Amino acid sequence: MIVLSGTIGAGKTSLTDLLAAHFGSNAYYESVDDNPILPLFYENQKKYGFLLQNYFLNKRMDNIRDAQGSQLNIIDRSIYEDLLLFQTVAAQGQATEVEVDIYRDLLDNMMEQVDFSDEAVLKTPDLLVYIHVSFDTMLNRIKKRGREFEQVDHDSGLYDYYKLLNNRYSQWFEAYNQSPKLMIDGDAYDFVEDTEAAEKVLTLIDQKVKELGLK
Ligand SMILES: Nc1ncnc2c1ncn2[C@@H]1O[C@H](COP(=O)(O)OP(=O)(O)OP(=O)(O)O)[C@@H](O)[C@H]1O
Protein backbone atom coordinates (compact mmCIF):
# COMPACT_ATOMS: atom_id res chain seq x y z
CA MET A 1 0.00 0.00 0.00
CA ILE A 2 1.13 3.49 -0.84
CA VAL A 3 -0.47 5.94 1.56
CA LEU A 4 -0.81 9.67 0.99
CA SER A 5 -0.51 12.28 3.70
CA GLY A 6 -0.66 16.05 3.99
CA THR A 7 -2.77 18.83 5.34
CA ILE A 8 -6.29 19.83 4.29
CA GLY A 9 -6.25 20.75 0.61
CA ALA A 10 -2.67 19.50 0.03
CA GLY A 11 -3.81 17.50 -2.99
CA LYS A 12 -3.90 13.96 -1.59
CA THR A 13 -7.02 12.95 -3.49
CA SER A 14 -5.69 14.29 -6.80
CA LEU A 15 -2.34 12.55 -6.36
CA THR A 16 -4.16 9.35 -5.44
CA ASP A 17 -6.00 9.53 -8.79
CA LEU A 18 -2.74 10.15 -10.67
CA LEU A 19 -0.87 7.33 -8.94
CA ALA A 20 -3.61 4.75 -9.34
CA ALA A 21 -3.86 5.56 -13.06
CA HIS A 22 -0.05 5.47 -13.40
CA PHE A 23 0.41 2.12 -11.64
CA GLY A 24 -2.88 0.59 -12.82
CA SER A 25 -3.73 -0.12 -9.19
CA ASN A 26 -6.77 0.53 -7.02
CA ALA A 27 -7.47 3.75 -5.16
CA TYR A 28 -9.21 3.97 -1.79
CA TYR A 29 -10.65 7.32 -0.80
CA GLU A 30 -11.78 9.06 2.32
CA SER A 31 -15.28 10.11 1.35
CA VAL A 32 -15.98 13.66 2.43
CA ASP A 33 -19.34 14.38 0.79
CA ASP A 34 -21.20 11.55 2.49
CA ASN A 35 -19.53 11.97 5.89
CA PRO A 36 -22.48 12.89 8.17
CA ILE A 37 -20.28 14.02 11.08
CA LEU A 38 -17.90 16.41 9.29
CA PRO A 39 -20.27 19.41 8.87
CA LEU A 40 -21.40 18.95 12.49
CA PHE A 41 -17.75 18.90 13.61
CA TYR A 42 -16.98 22.15 11.81
CA GLU A 43 -19.97 23.73 13.57
CA ASN A 44 -19.06 22.44 17.01
CA GLN A 45 -15.64 20.81 17.39
CA LYS A 46 -15.98 20.29 21.13
CA LYS A 47 -19.17 18.30 20.81
CA TYR A 48 -18.39 16.25 17.71
CA GLY A 49 -14.56 15.91 17.71
CA PHE A 50 -14.38 12.56 19.48
CA LEU A 51 -17.25 11.10 17.46
CA LEU A 52 -15.56 12.24 14.25
CA GLN A 53 -12.30 10.49 15.22
CA ASN A 54 -14.19 7.26 15.83
CA TYR A 55 -15.91 7.60 12.47
CA PHE A 56 -12.58 8.16 10.67
CA LEU A 57 -10.82 5.36 12.54
CA ASN A 58 -13.47 2.93 11.39
CA LYS A 59 -13.30 4.14 7.76
CA ARG A 60 -9.49 4.06 7.65
CA MET A 61 -9.46 0.47 8.95
CA ASP A 62 -11.87 -0.41 6.09
CA ASN A 63 -9.48 1.23 3.61
CA ILE A 64 -6.43 -0.57 5.03
CA ARG A 65 -8.21 -3.94 4.84
CA ASP A 66 -9.44 -3.33 1.28
CA ALA A 67 -6.10 -1.98 -0.03
CA GLN A 68 -4.00 -4.87 1.28
CA GLY A 69 -4.08 -6.86 -1.97
CA SER A 70 -1.23 -4.96 -3.69
CA GLN A 71 1.83 -2.98 -2.68
CA LEU A 72 0.81 -0.41 -5.28
CA ASN A 73 -2.76 0.18 -4.14
CA ILE A 74 -3.21 3.76 -3.00
CA ILE A 75 -4.99 5.17 0.07
CA ASP A 76 -5.70 8.90 -0.04
CA ARG A 77 -4.95 9.61 3.63
CA SER A 78 -2.97 7.82 6.32
CA ILE A 79 -4.49 6.68 9.59
CA TYR A 80 -1.50 8.20 11.44
CA GLU A 81 -2.44 11.82 10.80
CA ASP A 82 -5.76 11.59 12.61
CA LEU A 83 -4.00 11.72 15.96
CA LEU A 84 -2.17 14.86 14.83
CA LEU A 85 -5.48 16.47 13.85
CA PHE A 86 -7.17 15.48 17.09
CA GLN A 87 -4.21 16.71 19.17
CA THR A 88 -4.43 20.02 17.33
CA VAL A 89 -8.15 20.23 18.09
CA ALA A 90 -7.31 19.52 21.76
CA ALA A 91 -4.51 22.13 21.79
CA GLN A 92 -7.16 24.68 20.94
CA GLY A 93 -9.30 23.62 23.88
CA GLN A 94 -11.86 21.81 21.70
CA ALA A 95 -11.16 18.28 23.01
CA THR A 96 -9.92 17.00 26.36
CA GLU A 97 -6.71 15.11 27.13
CA VAL A 98 -8.84 12.16 28.28
CA GLU A 99 -10.54 12.01 24.88
CA VAL A 100 -7.17 12.13 23.11
CA ASP A 101 -5.72 9.40 25.39
CA ILE A 102 -8.71 7.11 24.84
CA TYR A 103 -8.53 7.66 21.10
CA ARG A 104 -4.75 6.98 21.07
CA ASP A 105 -5.17 3.69 22.98
CA LEU A 106 -7.93 2.60 20.63
CA LEU A 107 -5.79 3.43 17.59
CA ASP A 108 -2.80 1.53 19.03
CA ASN A 109 -4.94 -1.52 19.66
CA MET A 110 -6.45 -1.43 16.18
CA MET A 111 -3.04 -1.12 14.55
CA GLU A 112 -1.34 -3.77 16.66
CA GLN A 113 -0.07 -6.73 14.65
CA VAL A 114 -1.45 -9.90 16.22
CA ASP A 115 -0.51 -12.35 13.48
CA PHE A 116 3.27 -12.82 13.07
CA SER A 117 3.15 -15.70 10.59
CA ASP A 118 4.68 -15.40 7.09
CA GLU A 119 1.18 -14.99 5.65
CA ALA A 120 0.35 -12.12 7.98
CA VAL A 121 -0.83 -8.99 6.22
CA LEU A 122 0.73 -5.81 7.56
CA LYS A 123 -1.41 -2.79 8.35
CA THR A 124 1.51 -0.42 7.91
CA PRO A 125 2.10 1.19 4.49
CA ASP A 126 4.84 0.07 2.09
CA LEU A 127 5.47 3.75 1.42
CA LEU A 128 4.07 6.98 2.85
CA VAL A 129 4.07 9.97 0.50
CA TYR A 130 3.78 13.33 2.26
CA ILE A 131 2.68 16.38 0.26
CA HIS A 132 4.09 19.47 1.93
CA VAL A 133 2.36 22.81 1.25
CA SER A 134 2.87 26.24 2.81
CA PHE A 135 0.13 27.86 4.85
CA ASP A 136 -0.70 30.26 1.98
CA THR A 137 -1.08 27.40 -0.48
CA MET A 138 -3.25 25.53 2.01
CA LEU A 139 -5.58 28.51 2.44
CA ASN A 140 -5.76 29.14 -1.32
CA ARG A 141 -6.64 25.51 -2.05
CA ILE A 142 -9.34 25.43 0.64
CA LYS A 143 -10.81 28.61 -0.81
CA LYS A 144 -10.59 27.42 -4.41
CA ARG A 145 -12.24 24.09 -3.60
CA GLY A 146 -15.02 25.96 -1.80
CA ARG A 147 -16.35 23.34 0.60
CA GLU A 148 -18.71 25.51 2.60
CA PHE A 149 -17.92 24.19 6.07
CA GLU A 150 -14.13 24.54 5.60
CA GLN A 151 -14.16 28.27 4.77
CA VAL A 152 -12.40 30.65 7.16
CA ASP A 153 -14.78 33.52 6.25
CA HIS A 154 -17.54 31.62 8.03
CA ASP A 155 -15.50 31.05 11.19
CA SER A 156 -12.39 33.04 12.09
CA GLY A 157 -11.35 30.37 14.67
CA LEU A 158 -10.68 28.08 11.73
CA TYR A 159 -7.82 30.29 10.59
CA ASP A 160 -5.91 29.61 13.84
CA TYR A 161 -6.72 25.90 13.64
CA TYR A 162 -5.41 25.67 10.07
CA LYS A 163 -2.25 27.66 10.92
CA LEU A 164 -1.41 25.48 13.91
CA LEU A 165 -2.11 22.35 11.90
CA ASN A 166 0.09 23.46 9.03
CA ASN A 167 2.97 24.21 11.45
CA ARG A 168 2.66 20.84 13.13
CA TYR A 169 2.59 18.80 9.94
CA SER A 170 6.31 19.20 9.18
CA GLN A 171 7.27 17.99 12.66
CA TRP A 172 4.83 15.12 12.32
CA PHE A 173 6.46 14.00 9.06
CA GLU A 174 9.98 14.31 10.53
CA ALA A 175 8.98 12.03 13.41
CA TYR A 176 7.03 9.53 11.29
CA ASN A 177 8.81 6.16 11.35
CA GLN A 178 6.22 3.48 10.60
CA SER A 179 7.41 2.86 7.01
CA PRO A 180 9.66 4.28 4.27
CA LYS A 181 8.61 7.82 3.43
CA LEU A 182 8.95 10.45 0.73
CA MET A 183 8.20 14.16 0.74
CA ILE A 184 6.77 15.96 -2.30
CA ASP A 185 6.96 19.75 -2.43
CA GLY A 186 3.36 20.68 -3.22
CA ASP A 187 4.26 24.38 -3.62
CA ALA A 188 6.95 23.68 -6.21
CA TYR A 189 4.96 21.03 -8.09
CA ASP A 190 1.36 21.92 -8.87
CA PHE A 191 0.56 18.44 -10.14
CA VAL A 192 -3.15 19.28 -10.51
CA GLU A 193 -2.83 22.22 -12.91
CA ASP A 194 0.54 21.52 -14.54
CA THR A 195 1.08 18.28 -16.45
CA GLU A 196 4.87 18.72 -16.48
CA ALA A 197 4.88 19.02 -12.70
CA ALA A 198 2.70 15.91 -12.54
CA GLU A 199 5.25 13.98 -14.64
CA LYS A 200 8.07 15.08 -12.33
CA VAL A 201 6.18 13.99 -9.23
CA LEU A 202 5.40 10.61 -10.81
CA THR A 203 9.09 10.19 -11.66
CA LEU A 204 10.12 10.94 -8.06
CA ILE A 205 7.62 8.42 -6.71
CA ASP A 206 8.60 5.86 -9.38
CA GLN A 207 12.24 6.12 -8.29
CA LYS A 208 11.32 5.50 -4.66
CA VAL A 209 9.00 2.62 -5.57
CA LYS A 210 11.81 0.96 -7.56
CA GLU A 211 14.36 1.56 -4.81
CA LEU A 212 12.00 -0.20 -2.36
CA GLY A 213 11.33 -3.05 -4.79
CA LEU A 214 7.56 -2.47 -4.81
CA LYS A 215 7.43 -2.76 -8.60
N1 LIG B 1 -8.90 13.15 11.94
C2 LIG B 1 -9.51 14.24 11.55
N3 LIG B 1 -9.95 15.13 12.46
C4 LIG B 1 -10.61 16.24 12.08
N5 LIG B 1 -10.89 16.53 10.81
C6 LIG B 1 -10.46 15.69 9.87
C7 LIG B 1 -9.74 14.50 10.19
N8 LIG B 1 -9.44 13.86 9.04
C9 LIG B 1 -9.94 14.61 8.05
N10 LIG B 1 -10.56 15.69 8.54
C11 LIG B 1 -11.29 16.71 7.78
O12 LIG B 1 -11.94 16.08 6.71
C13 LIG B 1 -11.88 16.89 5.54
C14 LIG B 1 -11.21 16.11 4.43
O15 LIG B 1 -9.88 15.88 4.87
P16 LIG B 1 -8.62 15.59 3.99
O17 LIG B 1 -7.54 16.56 4.34
O18 LIG B 1 -8.29 14.18 4.14
O19 LIG B 1 -9.07 15.73 2.53
P20 LIG B 1 -8.96 16.93 1.61
O21 LIG B 1 -9.05 18.22 2.37
O22 LIG B 1 -9.95 16.66 0.54
O23 LIG B 1 -7.48 16.80 1.14
P24 LIG B 1 -6.81 16.84 -0.26
O25 LIG B 1 -7.15 18.15 -0.91
O26 LIG B 1 -5.36 16.74 0.10
O27 LIG B 1 -7.32 15.68 -1.03
C28 LIG B 1 -11.13 18.15 5.93
O29 LIG B 1 -12.07 19.15 6.22
C30 LIG B 1 -10.38 17.75 7.17
O31 LIG B 1 -10.21 18.81 8.06
Tell me what pLDDT residue 98 has: 98
Show the beta-strand stretches assigned E in 22-125. 27-28, 74-75
Length of the chain as a residue count? 215
Assess whether pLDDT exceeds 80 at residue 120.
no
Q: Which fold has domain 2-212?
A: Rossmann fold (3.40.50)
**Residue 38 near ligand 1, beta carbon < 6 Å:** yes
Tell me what pLDDT residue 207 has: 97
CB atoms within 10 A of CB 148: 8
- Average of per-residue pLDDT across 33-46: 94
How large is the ipTM? 0.89
Ligand 1 centroid vs 8 CA: distance in angstroms? Answer: 5
Q: Quick one: pLDDT band at residue 190, thresholds 50, 70, 90?
A: very high
**Residue 56 near ligand 1, beta carbon < 6 Å:** yes
144 is in an annotated binding site: yes
Ligand 1 centroid vs 148 CA: distance in angstroms? Answer: 13
Of residues 184, 213, 211, the one with CA closest to residue 19: 184
Q: Quick one: pLDDT band at residue 118, thresholds 50, 70, 90?
A: confident
- Which atom from ligand 1 is nearest to the alpha carbon of 77? 18
Assess whether pLDDT exceeds 80 at residue 171.
yes
SS3 of residue 36 by DSSP = coil
Alpha carbon distance 14, 23 (integer Å): 14
Ligand 1 centroid vs 30 CA: distance in angstroms? Answer: 8
Contacts of 149 (CB under 8 A, 6+ apart): 38, 39, 42, 43
SS (H, E, C) 155-180: CCHHHHHHHHHHHHHHHHHHHCCCCC
13 is in an annotated binding site: yes
**2 bridge partner residues:** 74, 127
**Residue 132 near ligand 1, beta carbon < 6 Å:** no
